[in-house]
Amino acid sequence: MDRIASSRAALRFDGVGSGDTFRTFLGFGFEHILKGSDHLIFLLGLWLVCHRIRELVWIVTSFTIAHSLTLAASTLGWVRLPDAAVEIGIAATIAFVGFENLARKGEPKWRVSVTFLFGLLHGFGFSNVLRELLPAAGGGVPALPLLAFNLGVEIGQLAATGVGLPLIWWLRRLPATKDHAVRVGSSLVLAFGLFWMIERLWT
């Protein structure tokens, strides 16, 4: 948050070129994913039961479309949800994914549709961050930071997936961990989701 605060103080759209603005918000989006433990844990829950590249493509695409829609709509002020409710809801999506992984064998049915619905909620969470990063400026919200931030989020997700998914697939193949990787990982996802739900309900 120190970096974000200092960047907000330094950044002014009337004095910064479009290229600098784009790179700045691209970095903010990328950084938010890699430092946002709740979004990474949510992605972990999706990776754990993903067995084929085609499944992964559908899941990532549905999540991307969904959160892009609500990120834009909320940042532009078209739709707005209470920040606290969004954060509690995001925690609930994490807990649900962990629970569903444990309750069902293999890839849970309707995972793509569920991911899309949950992606809508995560998009509101992204917009909460983006609105705080935007400096006060007359004339509304510039489109360039919105586009750059969302692209940074996508690059961050792809980078995390490129590292996390092969590691999970490797663990599922090891004799010592193949029978436990999904169960242990999903239990951790469920535990984190429940912990964040309780924590956010009390704050």
Question: In the predicted model, what is the mean pLDDT of residues 131-145?
Answer: 67
**In the prediction, which pLDDT does 8 show?**
43
Q: What percent of the chain has pLDDT over 90?
A: 54
**Model confidence at 184: pLDDT above 80:** yes
- Cβ burial of 84 (10 Å; 0-12, 13-18, 19+) is exposed
How many residues does this entry show for the chain? Answer: 203
Q: What is the mean pLDDT of residues 169-176?
A: 86
Lowest mean pLDDT of 24-33, 82-91, 130-139, name the range: 130-139
Torsion of CA 14, 17, 18, 20, to 10 degrees: -120
Is the pLDDT higher at 19 or at 111? 111
Calculate the average pLDDT of the chain: 85
Q: What is the predicted pLDDT for the residue at 3? A: 40
Let me know if 203 is exposed, middle or buried by CB neighbors in 10 A (0-12, 13-18, 19+). Answer: exposed
CA dihedral 191, 32, 53, 176 (to 10 degrees): -40
Report which of residues 22 and 106 the model is more confident about. 22
Q: What is the pLDDT of residue 9?
A: 38
Mean pLDDT to the nearest integer, 163-192: 90
* Position 12 confidence tier, pLDDT thresholds 50, 70, 90: very low
